[in-house]
Amino acid sequence: MDHMRERLEGRDYIEGYVRALTHELKSPVAAIRGAGELLQDDLPAADRAQFAEQVVEQSERLQRLIDRLLELSKLEQRQHADADAAPASLNACAERALQQCAARAKQRGVQLSLQGEGASGPWEADLVTLAIGNLIDNAIDFSPEGGTVRIALDGTTVSVSDQGPGVPDYALARLGERFFTTARPDGTRSGSGLGLAIVRRILDLHGGSWQIENLRPGFRVSLRWGPKR
């Protein structure tokens, strides 16, 4: 009976996953197709450039979605972090994540600030960097132009905060679910929800935890890295 229940739950999980993935793929595919059809017409140069830019933007969105799906799939197959990995410095991981996000922040007119001192511990540096980078990316998405994303280090805790509108209270408990998203400040839902799902999985592998809170205005996610592999 238990085996049958597990099989049914697994099938429900897969069906739900496929439905959510199909929904996420529809929007960029439709945008690319629409722009491609318009580009077949005799259009002014400015219009052609605009539609060509849409194709590039939506193609990049698809690529990010695929990359994050593959990353999450790999993480979900693991039971724990690598016990043989060299100790990681939260300072070094945060600095690397900030550098990786700097170009995108500049493009969006958002400043990045890194302060504090973090600990070193038995964590996988690449995964810690990925988790922090995903939080910074998310904060950039929700930041107004001219805003600042702050990364604060305090021992085993890394906090990332923005100056955006925050998250509706009803949505706080669902953050980190695959494909769950909330509207961006411009009213769009361009995210996939996979970034925070990856963060939660990385924390689980390291025995860590997170705290999420509205700052009114702004939003903050704090990651506390656990001691175990």
Local confidence band at 226 (pLDDT 50, 70, 90 cut-offs): confident
Which distant-in-sequence residues (6+ apart) come within 8 Å of 18 by Cβ?
none
Asked which of 35-39, 69-73, 156-160, 183-187 is least confident by mean pLDDT, the reply is 183-187
Closest CA to 81 of 119, 121, 124, 120: 124
> Which residue ranges make up each domain of the chain?
2-76, 88-224
Q: How many Å is the Cα radius of gyration of the chain?
A: 19
Distance (Å, whole) CA 110 – CA 142: 10
pTM reported for the whole predicted model: 0.73
Helical segments of the chain, H only: 2-39, 45-76, 90-108, 125-142, 194-205
Tokens 């994050």 appear where?
68
- For β-strands 88-89 and 120-121, DSSP reports them as antiparallel
* Cα angle value 206/159/155 (rounded, 5°): 65
Separation of first and last alpha carbons in the chain: 33
Beta carbons of 58 and 31 less than 8 angstroms apart: yes
Beta carbons of 210 and 131 less than 8 angstroms apart: no
Q: Which fold has domain 88-224?
A: Heat Shock Protein 90 (3.30.565)
Q: Mean pLDDT over all residues of the chain? A: 81
The DSSP symbol for 111 reads E
Highest mean pLDDT: which range of 14-23, 32-41, 110-119: 110-119
User: pLDDT higher for 6 or 27?
Assistant: 27
Q: What CATH number belongs to 2-76?
A: 1.10.287.130
CA–CA distance from 41 to each of 36, 47, 137, 178 (Å)? 9, 10, 36, 39
**In one letter, which amino acid is 7?**
R
Percent of the residues in the chain that have a pLDDT greater than 70, as a whole number = 80
The string of pLDDT tens digits covering residues 129-170 is 999 999 999 899 889 999 999 999 999 999 999 998 888 888
Closest CA to 137 of 156, 170, 112, 171: 112
Distance (Å, whole) CA 174 – CA 191: 15
The string of pLDDT tens digits covering residues 89-118 is 999 999 999 999 999 899 899 999 999 999
